[in-house]
Structure 1
Amino acid sequence: MWTVGVDEAGRGPVIGPLVVGAVALPTADLGMLLQQGVKDSKDLTHKKRNELVNWFHEQSKQRGWKFTLIECGPERVDNGVQTTGLNLLEVELFAEALTQIRQQVDQPVHVLNDACDVNEQRFTDRIAARLPQWPWNDSTIHSEHKADTTFPIVGMASILAKVERDNRIQQLTEEIGIPLGSGYPSDPNTKAALPNLLQEAEPHPALRWSWKTVRRAWNEKYGVDPPTRRYEDGSQQTLFDYQRRL
């Protein structure tokens, strides 16, 4: 039996991707996460998160642990918000991550998700409905609020997702040449950067155009709503794609 933890990082920011991480370990190895001090990424320092990611990758090589990261760029986030809503977009991303894990682990699994829906069971059912050939042999799936705090394996997924997103934001910061902060609307550096990302005919591609923060700033600057963003279904661009277009 294996245990799988799934969580996301970057649901609320106005800049950059939403990243979903999934981690799979033999259930017998779960105690190693607790011993190493794995917990919710928000409760750890930047340094500690990076140390744990390095430790996890080393253990993955030695013990065959599995993981996957799904990056959902701002275009897809905007499309999700404007069509099905953010919760259903996360359902799709969690299901994509679990489908990739299934390709790596052909054994019964117990899946633990950090629920983003107020209704935990609904979140579970929606993910399960999108998993190919579910139910998998002797496998179970469960979603819970604050699972990243309760279950270290979900905490590890949150750490991998958080570090991946932070790395993408750092790359974009270096490319644009101004401090972007964390990308959250309340971050002073993000607030200061926003006007510089609204100088062209369209908002910068790394922004989430559907966010009220962007729509309000664009309207204040130009007196109209920002243009409608085009999205090609199936394209999942990363910040590397945006950098090539700068």
Structure 2
Amino acid sequence: MALSPVPGGSTVDAVLDQLQAEVSGGGWRVGDRIPGELALAARLGVSRPAVREAIRALAHVGVLEVRRGDGTYVRSSADPRPLLRRVARATLRDVFEVQLAYDVQAARLAARRRTDADIERLAGLLAARNEATGAEAFGEADARFHHGVAEAARNPVLIEAHRYFQGRLRDSMATVRLDQEVPEAGPAAHAAVLDAIVARDATAAARAAAAVVEPTLAVLETLVAADEADGEAR
């Protein structure tokens, strides 16, 4: 196999790329049975769940076929990555539209209701976000900071809704970190949210929270429209 260890912080996408490269390059032909999850995980230097997720994605679009009790076989040599990219960006747009609504209200309420303990905790969460490097670690740290703001809002319904949403936000931010065409709000934009909460300025907090999400959402709107146009042209 031409497979090689993938860099940390980009596991599922990197695994998917390597599996697809084996198919597109002829290493695995249509009808071939590919190595098992354990063998692939060892070869690529990643976890078995990362391999399973990549296989599931390729099976979903018809490149691979998982036969229970038998193994996984190559079904098509077509490259699904452009399609997967279009789907991922459309999903990201949906998530960021919801995040915009949650974060603006959470920041507004947090500025009114926060305690000194909240500020100390948010400062620690923001520092952890700024220090995160790998895509998965960054996504987790970003989601924790935003959920911390929701908790400081002290609205039980908003907190539970955001907790339910947190997993999608974490995965989405990890995807943004890997997609170089999609910008992410940096430390300064997030610090502005915390500064407004510290100052108990609800209007500024809501405005800062919107400024974190809106630039990324605007780019996603443009990319999704371009992807849709490209898909129709094909």
Give the shorter-chain TM-score range: under 0.3
Structure number, greater radius of gyration: 2
TM-score (norm: length of structure 2): 0.27
Q: Which has the higher helix share?
A: 2
Q: Which has the higher strand share?
A: 1
TM-score (norm: length of structure 1): 0.26
Q: Which gives a bigger RCO, structure 1 or 2 (Cα 8 Å, sep 6+)?
A: 1
